Structures are given as structure tokens and as C-alpha cells.
């Protein structure tokens, strides 16, 4: 890294959709690093996104507009290659629970094997977001529940348009 380049970190994820928990980690990282690049995975391999990559980027840009040292970019390569492209030597990930740790532990070692020069930094989720996940938010919204306070306003509004009327859930027993 040359003397003129900002110290950059990458906050990678699918952000399908971005939650207030994601924003908490990104904003906290922006207080540590000179530049934070939020990397949005174009086509996640482990799950089919509900929102288009354009929507996911727009949600993030809208929510992070007041943070001048935060940028949003899309990537479709290995996260360590994305980090190198931006001149970043640190990935920042949030941890909510033990289950997050197990997955992130595996990913950390795979990434270190691919790029020993790229380190991973973990931020513990703030207590009010320790239960929050994109998949949980999608489930709540799909059954007509309110996601206000869990996601940025534009995301909550989009869910309201996506699921205009609540539909009944799965029966809890075969007799129902």
C-alpha cells in the first residue's frame, strides 16, 4: 500500500436484505478504518436472493449516505480477490452467535490459505441485533409481520409492497 492510499476494510455479504444489524457493523467499522467498502455478492452460491443486486445496492447506499468513508460495490469473485482489488488487507465480519463463529472460523481459514495477506476482523453484534438475520426478516415479512426497526425504512416499505396482504402460515399439525 502506498502512503496515499486510505486504510481500507471490506464488509462483504449478500445483504438480502440489509438489516439494522448489518448497518451497525458497517458503521462501527467506518469508525475504525479510513475507508470501508461494502461488498455485495452479485449471485450468492448458497442461497437464492429475494432482491435483485440493484435493489440490495440501493438499499445500502440509501442507508449509508451520511457516511462519506463508506462505499458500496458489487463483486462476483472470491472475497479475497475483491479485497485485493480495493487495496484492502482486512475483511470485517459481524458475529451474532456460536453458529456464526463456526461458519466464520471455516471461512477465515479458507481465506487465509488463499490470501495470507488479508486478515479477518470480527465485531460482535450489538445486543439489540444479536437475534437479527436477513432470513428471519424475510420470514416475518412474508407472513405479514412488521419488520419496522429491524431494517431501514425503504426495505420495510419494499416488503409491504412485496407482501401487500398477510397470508396464512403453515399448519402446526396435520389436523388443522
Q: Point out the residues that are catalytic.
A: 22, 47, 96, 134
What are the φ/ψ torsions at residue 134 (nearest 5 degrees)?
-60, -40
- Separation of alpha carbons 82 and 88, rounded Å: 8
The CA distance from 135 to 141, in Å, is 10
End-to-end CA distance of the chain: 63
Give the number of other CB atoms < 10 A from CB of residue 158. 20
For residues 1 and 89, the answer to whether their CB atoms sit within 8 Å is yes
Contact at 8 Å (CB) between 158 and 62? no
Amino acid at each position: 500500500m502506498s502512503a496515499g492510499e486510505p486504510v481500507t476494510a471490506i464488509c462483504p455479504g449478500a445483504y438480502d436484505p440489509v438489516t439494522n444489524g448489518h448497518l451497525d457493523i458497517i458503521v462501527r467499522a467506518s469508525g475504525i478504518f479510513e475507508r470501508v467498502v461494502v461488498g455485495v455478492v452479485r449471485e450468492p452460491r448458497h442461497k437464492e436472493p429475494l432482491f435483485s443486486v440493484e435493489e440490495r445496492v440501493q438499499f445500502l447506499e440509501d442507508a449509508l449516505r451520511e457516511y462519506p468513508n463508506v462505499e458500496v460495490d458489487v463483486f462476483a469473485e472470491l472475497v479475497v480477490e475483491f479485497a485485493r482489488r480495493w487495496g484492502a488487507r482486512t475483511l470485517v465480519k459481524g458475529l451474532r452467535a456460536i453458529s456464526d463463529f463456526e461458519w466464520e472460523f471455516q471461512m477465515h481459514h479458507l481465506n487465509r490459505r488463499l490470501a495470507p495477506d488479508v486478515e479477518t476482523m470480527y465485531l460482535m453484534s450489538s445486543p439489540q441485533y444479536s437475534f437479527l438475520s436477513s432470513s428471519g426478516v424475510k420470514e416475518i415479512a412474508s407472513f405479514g409481520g412488521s419488520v419496522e426497526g429491524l431494517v431501514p425504512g425503504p426495505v420495510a416499505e419494499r416488503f409491504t409492497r412485496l407482501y401487500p396482504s398477510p397470508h396464512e402460515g403453515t399448519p402446526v399439525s396435520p389436523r388443522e
